[in-house]
Amino acid sequence: MRVIIKENYDEMSKRAAQIVAEQIRLKPDCVLGLATGSTPLGLYKELIRLHREEGLDFSKVITFNLDEYIGLPPEHPQSYHYFMYQNFFNHLNIDPRFIYIPHGMTQDVERFCNWYEKEIERFGGIDLQILGIGANGHIGFNEPGSSLGSRTRIKTLTKKTIEDNARFFEKMEDVPKYAITMGIGTIMDAKKQLLLASGKNKAKAISQAIEGPISQVVPASILQLHRWVTVVLDKDAASMLKMEYFEE
């Protein structure tokens, strides 16, 4: 596991963008696994800048998003569909046929999830998976207690996650309680992992994920078993780490 600690959020985002850009330049038709949340926003902004100013080409890139709320249509401002188009896809030369996001309105969740897994496989698997982390250590919407071998499926969100997400909705009752998420097994199949975290409220989850025991209680800790993981943190998110880390 390579842990890179940057001074602040901006530097974290730029460093992460370099890693994603390297992947795209290395393999222009690569498959990216994408995350939502506030953490990757700076990374997406920097990738858009690289596209505009340095011609970073997304025309052959294929993307699979980690998760989506059940019951929110794509045009709902809090849906992950909406988030991804607003903050990323609308600003790039990406082919809409190559954008995959779980459908929160699907009538047959199980069938949809199987299809999603097959589509990932059909493109040869995810080359680089971008991940944020929940304050309770979740990745995607794989909450504590998720099977470490799980595949794409429906998950019930924990009270903590619902509370954390409440800031985006008018009323507590409006916050979705279920989501479709890639499983931990699905995520672990990606060839490379790029985990980002920023801010003091992530420090505990990060220390448990990186330096704690591997456990379903902290789903992100499974990444310790992956062969290629880069973690990019700002100082606050790294503040509870005990071991020594250096970039070179």
Task: List residues near ligand GLP by CB under 6 A.
Answer: 35-39, 66-67, 132-134, 140-141, 161
> Which DSSP string corresponds to 44-74?
HHHHHHHHHHH----TT-EEEESEEETT--T
Q: Which residue has the tokens 């993307």?
A: 63
Nearer to ligand GLP, 23 or 36 (CB): 36
Nearer to ligand GLP, 60 or 162 (CB): 162
Work out the number of other CB atoms within 10 angstroms of the CB of residue 197: 26
Q: Do 60 and 28 contact (CB within 8 A), yes or no?
A: yes
Backbone angles phi, psi at 237, to 5 degrees: -65, -25
Min CB(198)–ligand GLP separation in Å: 8
- Estimate the share of the chain in helix, then strand, then coil, as percent rounded to the nearest 5: 40, 20, 40
46 included as an active-site residue: no
Q: How far apart are the C-alpha atoms of 228 and 1, rounded to whole Å? A: 7
91 included as an active-site residue: no
Q: How far apart are the C-alpha atoms of 28 and 103, rounded to whole Å? A: 26
Min CB(102)–ligand GLP separation in Å: 11
95 included as an active-site residue: no
Nearer to ligand GLP, 161 or 207 (CB): 161
Min CB(165)–ligand GLP separation in Å: 7
Catalytic residue among 46, 67, 68, 189: 67
Nearer to ligand GLP, 140 or 183 (CB): 140
Looking at residue 198, the DSSP 8-state letter turns out to be -
Nearer to ligand GLP, 37 or 125 (CB): 37
Catalytic residue among 46, 138, 142, 189: 138
Q: How far apart are the C-alpha atoms of 143 and 146, rounded to whole Å? A: 6
Q: Which residue has the tokens 């931990």?
A: 184
136 included as an active-site residue: yes
Min CB(40)–ligand GLP separation in Å: 7
Catalytic residue among 143, 189, 234, 236: 143
* SS3 category, 26: helix
Catalytic residue among 51, 65, 136, 189: 136
Min CB(160)–ligand GLP separation in Å: 10
Chain length of the chain:
248
Active site positions, annotated = 67, 136, 138, 143
